[in-house]
Structure 1
C-alpha cells in the first residue's frame, strides 16, 4: 500500500472516530433537553439527523454510551439519561446464592436481592437503581448488564432424573443446565469449573459447559483447588520467571557480592521460625550495651536478586503475597529463591539487609541504622524448642543444639519483656485471636484441628520484628522519601458508637470519649479480662476495628499505637517488604531526595494499592480453604455433642465455636419455636420467653451436618444436655 493510500485510510479512520464522538455528544445533548422523560429511539435518531450513511456511527455511539452507563434503554424502545432516572453504573463485586453486592463508580455499595440481580455475575458492569431498603443500607436492583465480566463459576455435579446439573457455589440456589456435548468428562459429585455458554435473565437460566474437574467435592483438597481458580490465584510460575530464578540460584552467593557490605558472619545471628518453615527470611541478634541493648534484625536481601521490572518482580507484584492453607503454600517467589538462595539457612553465607536499633534499658529506641550485610546463621531455631528452653524443660538434644546461642536466647527474652512492657505503657489494646492448625494426613485429608499455640518465643520474634518495622518507617519519614507504609486507622465513628451502646448491656462501662483512642480499647479489654464476658467484649472490640492496609502516606497504626510503621521483615513472602527494601537500598546508595521521589512516587502508590488488594484476596482464600478442611474433619464427628461458645450472632441464627476453633451455624429454624428479635451484633432473644442467645455464651451443640464443598458446618442445640445443666 502506498504512503498516500495509508494516509487516506488514517484520515478516514479519524473522521469515523470523530463522527461517532459527535453522535455521542448529540445524543446526550438531546436527552438532557428532553428533561426527566425518556425519548423514543426513533425520535432521538431523527433529532440527531441520522442519515442512512451515518446510521452505523449512530448505533456505535449509542452502544458506547450504554456500555459507559451514561444512557439506558427503557420499555417501549425509549432512551433516557441514567443520571435523570437515578440509575448508576457499577460493578458486581460479590455474589451468594440469594443475594449479591454491586459497587457504583462513585464508591457506593448496594445490596442486591437475588431476584433483582438480572442474572449478573461477578465483575459484570451493570446499571443499578436504588430500591426501598429494609436494613437502612443502600439496596438496589440491576436494570441492565452493560458489559459481561467473568463467565467462569465453580460448583459440583448433581444428577437429577438421570440428567447432570451444576449446583454452583454461588450465584443461584437452582440447578444450572450443563451442555454435555461441549463439556469434558465428569462424574456425579465432582467439584468442577464451568464456563457460561448462554446467559439468561436469571442465574437459573444460564447454561454452562464443564471445563475442568478438580476431583470429588467430598474432599477439601478438591474444593481448595477450585477456590484458588475462582479467586485467580496463580499456582504455576511462567517459564520466563522460572528461568530467571534458576539462573540466580545456579549463580550462588559469590565473594564479589560481599563488596560494599558489612561482614557480620562472626556475629551470633540465628533464625527462629516454625518447625515446618522453609522460607527463612529473618534472623536476629542482641547485644548488651552501656545504654541498654543493640537489637539486630537481619532480613534476606531479596531486592538484590529481584530487580525492578524484571519478570520475577512483575510476577511478585501480581501475586502480592504468599498464600498459606492447610499444609500447602503458593509462594510469591519460586522455591529456588524462597527456599533456596534467599532463605537464611544455617551455616550458609547469605546476603541481608540489616537494621540495628540502639535501645535504652527500658526498650526505648535511641537510634537506628540500616546497612547491606552478609551473615551466616548459627542455627535454625524452632519456636517450640526455644519455648522449652525458656520453660526450663528442654531435652539434652535441644540443649546441645542451642548450646552456642543459649546466652543470647536469655538476653532476647529479657529485651522482649522490656518491649512488651513498653507496648502496655502505650496502652496498645491486647485483642485476643486464635489461629487454627490443621493436621493433614498422608492422604491429604484433615484428620485434626487444633488451636495454634503461641508461646514466648513467638512473642520475642514478634516484638523484634515490630521494632525493625518501626525503624524502617522512621527512616523513610525522616528522609522524606516515597514509601509503602502499613497503616491501621482509627475505628469508624459508627462502630465506636456501637461499642458505647452495647457495653452497658454486658455490665461494663464504656470510658467517655469524644474521639476513640487505643487507650479506650485497652481499658475496655482490661476491665473484662478474666470474666466470663471477656470473649464477648473481646469480639466487640475486634469487630469495631478498621482493617489494616498499605498506604504511601504515613498515617500511623492504631492497634500498635505507633506513628511510624511499615512491613520490612518478610520480603520473601510479601511484596510491600520487597518494595521498601528496594527504596532503602537506594537511600543507602546515597541517591538524593529528588531522584528518589521521581523514581518511587508512582511505584509506592501502585505497590500500596495492589498489595492491599492481594492481601484481601489471600486472606479470603485462606479462610475459605480452612473452612473446607474443617468441614472435612467434622464429617467424622456428625452426631457428636460439643461444648461451644457463641462466636457470632445474625438475624438467621448464631455461630458457635468449639475449643479447637471449628465453627458451625445454629440456624434460627432449629431453635425452639418462637418469635426472635435480633440485637445487632450480639443477641437473638425470643420475645415471649425472654430466652436469649448472646455473643460469648456457652452452649451445648450437636454436629448435625457438614458440606465440604461449601465449607459449612451445621450445629443444633443439644436439648438433653442443656436441660441436665439447668
Structure 2
C-alpha cells in the first residue's frame, strides 16, 4: 500500500475517531530506535521538509521493519513532534515553527485555539482544516492585521470530544444540526430510524464522518431532550455532552442500601469521642439536604475553642468499593438551578451521612484553639459522634445577628443564642486576622435562580451573603488550614488545595492597565497577596472599584488540587486543603481516610507507602472533575438566564459593563444576568480596542469602558446556547 492511501484510510476512517494514524502500539526497541532516527535525521537535515518516502528510505535499514517505522512515525505525529504537510512532506514541528495546542471555540467564520504555552490564536475559518473544539492541533503563526496572534491549523493531532449538542433544523426535507458551541455551519445529519426527532428539538449528536472542512462533517443524533426553548431540556443536553453521570449502577445502589439499612450502630461509637453533650449544630441554606458540617464554640482561658465536625463519610465508603470508585469518577456533586447531581447516592448524601438534627451521627472533628486575637494556637483531630441540636438556616441566624428575628425564630434558637453570639465574636477576630495577613478581598457574586413548578426560570438575584455565611466560611477555612498543617507536620501524602500566584503575563497586564484607572501598580520582583490586596484597597470606595475588582479577579490563576503543598495565594496561606465537604467533594473524602490513619497512629513511612499514589491520582482527577462540574454549572445557568430574559425582550435595563472585547462588550444587570452588546450594533464608526478595558470610537471619542453604567435593551436570546444579546438604548447612542 502507498503512503498516501495508508494515511487517507487512517485519517478518514470512522475507526480512528480519537487519533490518527491508528497503527498498533508497540513497546519494542525497534519502535524506539526508529523514533530516535526520525527525530535525529529531521533535525540535522539541511532542509526543514523532506518527502516521507525519502525519510523512510534514509531511516529504515531493516528489510522487514516497516511496521515499526510506521508505528514510530505515527507516535511522533500524534505527539505533535513531527508534522506532515501537503505533498507528503515531513518536518520537525520545532524547526517549522509549529506549536501544539487545542481548539477552544468556533463561530461561523473563525475560531480560537490556545497553544500549550498559553498563547491564544485567532484562526480564520478557511484556516481551520475542519478542526472542532477540543481537538489537539498544530498551529502555524500567520500575518495578522490586528496585531493579535493569528494562526492556521496545519494538522490535527487528535480528536477531542466526538459529541456535540445543538438544535434540529429541517430544510427542504433534509435534517441539519445547528451546533451550540462548534461551527455555526449547519451539519448534515445521518438519520437513525431508532432515534426520531423533529424540528426545534434539542439533541445530542456524535460525529459520524470527519471532513476536511466543517461543512463536510456529518453527525448522527443519539439522544433527544425536548424543545430547545426549554432551559430544562438544554441543561440535560449540557450534562450529557460533558459526560456527567446521572445514574448510579445497581452495584453502587446495593452497597448504599446496605449501608443505609444498617443505620448508625452503637458499636461504631467505640474509639470515638462522644460529643453529644456539646452544643453542636449545622448552619446551611434552607433547601440543603446534604448537611456535611456542624460547628461548636467554647470560651477558654486563652481565647476560644472552635469545633468543626464533619460527616465521617470515610467510615461508610471504603477505598476501592463500588461507591468509592463512582465517587472518584464523579469527583464532585453538580449543582444547577434547583437541582443537584450528587457525588454519592441519596441514601448516604441525604441520609446516614447527613448531619440531620436530633440524630446520632459519626463525624471527624477538628478542634482548633485560638487566642484572644484570633491566632491559631493548636489543633487536634479525632473520630467522634455528635447529635446536632438544630438545622440552622442562614437567613434565620442572620436575622438574629441583626436583631430582627421573629418570635418563632427566637424560640427555635433560644438554647443556642449564646453560642451564636460567641461564633459571631470569633468570626470577627478571624476576619481581622485575614485582613492582617493581607488576603485579597475579591468580591464575587453567585446567582440564585427561581424556578417555578413547571421548571421554568422566573427570576434571578445575587445570592445573599450575610454574617452567618461569613461565620461558616471562616470556620471552614480554619479547619481546612488545620488539616493541611497536620499533613505537613506528619509528612504524609495528602491532597492539598492550591492557588498559585498570577502568571507573570497577567501581572504585567495589571501594570499597564491600572494607571488608566488612576491607580499605581509598581513592578514587583514577586507579586504577593499583599500587593493584590493594596490594589483593591486603593480602589475601594471609588467609582472604579468594581472594574478594578474584575481586573484583579481575571488576573488570578485557577485554584486546583495538588499532592504538593504550594500554598494558597487568594487566602494568603501557606497550608490549605479541602476537608469540610466529603459528601460532595472527593478530595475531602480522600484526606479523611489519611487523617483517620494519622489518628490511628500510623507513621509517615507507612502512610507514604499506602497513600503516595492515591494522593497524586485523587488530586489530578479531582481537579479535572471540578473543571467539568464548573463548566456544566455555568452552561446550565446560562440557559436558564436566557429562558428568563426571553420573557423580557424589548425591555430596557440599567447595567454595568463587565467585560470588553474586540467584538463588543458585556453588560451585567443587577440580578447577575449578562448579555453582549455586539460591535456591529454600535453607532457607525472606527472603534479602537484597548484590551481589556475599553472600546473607543476614534472620531467622536465615545468610549465604552469596563465598569461603566449603561442602559441596554434586551434584543434577542438563544436558550439553546445560553446567549443574550443587548443593544444600546437609543438615548445611550
TM-score when scaled to structure 2? 0.91
Residue 703 of structure 1: which of 702, 714, 719 is its match?
714
* Structure 2: unaligned runs, 5 residues or longer: 1-23
Paired with 2:473 and 2:637, the residues of 1 have a C-alpha distance of: 24
3-state secondary structure, aligned to 2:477: helix
- Report the more deviating stretch, 140-149 or 302-311: 140-149
**Residue correspondences, number:** 710
Q: What does 1:53-452 align with in structure 2 at a 5 Å threshold? A: 62-87=73-98, 91-92=102-103, 95=106, 97-102=108-113, 112-132=123-143, 139-181=150-192, 184-452=195-463
Contact 1:98 1:171 in 2 (8 A): no
3-state secondary structure, aligned to 1:76: helix
Residue 671 of structure 1: which of 667, 675, 682 is its match?
682
1:561 matched to 2:572? The reply is: yes
Paired with 2:696 and 2:151, the residues of 1 have a C-alpha distance of: 30
Contact 2:578 2:588 in 1 (8 A): yes
3-state secondary structure, aligned to 1:532: coil
Paired with 2:442 and 2:181, the residues of 1 have a C-alpha distance of: 33
Paired with 1:249 and 1:550, the residues of 2 have a C-alpha distance of: 31
Paired with 2:552 and 2:244, the residues of 1 have a C-alpha distance of: 32
Q: What does 1:4-15 align with in structure 2 at a 5 Å threshold? A: none
Paired with 2:145 and 2:321, the residues of 1 have a C-alpha distance of: 51
Change (3 A) 1:655 1:149: closer
Change (3 A) 1:414 1:211: same
Paired with 1:453 and 1:254, the residues of 2 have a C-alpha distance of: 39
3-state secondary structure, aligned to 2:692: coil
C-alpha displacement at 1:550, in angstroms?
Answer: 1.5
Paired with 1:513 and 1:60, the residues of 2 have a C-alpha distance of: 49
Paired with 1:49 and 1:394, the residues of 2 have a C-alpha distance of: 84
Paired with 1:107 and 1:644, the residues of 2 have a C-alpha distance of: 32
1:485 matched to 2:496? The reply is: yes
Q: C-alpha deviations, 1:47-94, integer Å up to 9, x for none?
A: 567899766666555555544445444333444444443445555455
C-alpha displacement at 1:528, in angstroms?
Answer: 2.4
C-alpha displacement at 1:159, in angstroms?
Answer: 2.0
Change (3 A) 1:641 1:92: closer
Paired with 2:548 and 2:583, the residues of 1 have a C-alpha distance of: 36
Contact 1:180 1:209 in 2 (8 A): yes
Change (3 A) 1:304 1:101: farther
Contact 1:300 1:353 in 2 (8 A): yes
Residue 545 of structure 1: which of 541, 556, 573 is its match?
556
Paired with 1:67 and 1:447, the residues of 2 have a C-alpha distance of: 48
Contact 1:428 1:559 in 2 (8 A): yes
Q: C-alpha deviations, 1:266-294, integer Å up to 9, x for none?
A: 11100000000000000000111111111
Change (3 A) 1:626 1:203: same
- Report the more deviating stretch, 183-192 or 345-354: 183-192
Contact 1:36 1:84 in 2 (8 A): no
Contact 2:112 2:121 in 1 (8 A): yes
Change (3 A) 1:185 1:371: same
Paired position in structure 2 for 1:5: none
3-state secondary structure, aligned to 2:725: strand
- Report the more deviating stretch, 13-22 or 583-592: 13-22
Paired with 2:403 and 2:25, the residues of 1 have a C-alpha distance of: 81
C-alpha displacement at 1:200, in angstroms?
Answer: 0.9
Change (3 A) 1:96 1:389: same
Paired with 2:119 and 2:74, the residues of 1 have a C-alpha distance of: 25
3-state secondary structure, aligned to 1:587: helix
Contact 2:357 2:388 in 1 (8 A): yes
Paired with 2:487 and 2:591, the residues of 1 have a C-alpha distance of: 9
Residue 516 of structure 1: which of 503, 515, 527 is its match?
527
- Report the more deviating stretch, 392-401 or 363-372: 392-401
Paired with 1:182 and 1:17, the residues of 2 have a C-alpha distance of: 46
3-state secondary structure, aligned to 2:619: helix
Paired with 1:21 and 1:366, the residues of 2 have a C-alpha distance of: 57
- Report the more deviating stretch, 153-162 or 329-338: 153-162
Change (3 A) 1:499 1:91: closer
Paired with 2:444 and 2:26, the residues of 1 have a C-alpha distance of: 63
Paired position in structure 2 for 1:35: 46
Paired with 1:196 and 1:317, the residues of 2 have a C-alpha distance of: 28
Contact 1:97 1:170 in 2 (8 A): no
TM-score when scaled to structure 1? 0.92
- Report the more deviating stretch, 641-650 or 231-240: 231-240
Contact 1:97 1:169 in 2 (8 A): no
Contact 1:183 1:211 in 2 (8 A): no
1:692 matched to 2:692? The reply is: no
Superposed CA RMSD:
2.6
Paired with 1:16 and 1:541, the residues of 2 have a C-alpha distance of: 48
Paired with 1:14 and 1:357, the residues of 2 have a C-alpha distance of: 54
Paired position in structure 2 for 1:502: 513
Paired with 2:225 and 2:157, the residues of 1 have a C-alpha distance of: 32
Contact 2:105 2:181 in 1 (8 A): no
Paired with 2:581 and 2:109, the residues of 1 have a C-alpha distance of: 40
C-alpha displacement at 1:622, in angstroms?
Answer: 0.9
Paired with 2:147 and 2:313, the residues of 1 have a C-alpha distance of: 49
Change (3 A) 1:24 1:698: closer
Paired position in structure 2 for 1:572: 583
Paired with 2:712 and 2:120, the residues of 1 have a C-alpha distance of: 36
Contact 1:36 1:85 in 2 (8 A): no
Paired position in structure 1 for 2:651: 640
Change (3 A) 1:212 1:418: same
Change (3 A) 1:718 1:230: same
Q: C-alpha deviations, 1:493-523, integer Å up to 9, x for none?
A: 3322322332232223346744332223222
3-state secondary structure, aligned to 1:693: strand
3-state secondary structure, aligned to 2:87: coil
Change (3 A) 1:685 1:71: closer
3-state secondary structure, aligned to 1:193: strand
Paired position in structure 2 for 1:456: 467
Paired with 2:701 and 2:586, the residues of 1 have a C-alpha distance of: 52
- Report the more deviating stretch, 476-485 or 513-522: 513-522
C-alpha displacement at 1:150, in angstroms?
Answer: 2.9
3-state secondary structure, aligned to 1:418: helix
1:617 matched to 2:628? The reply is: yes
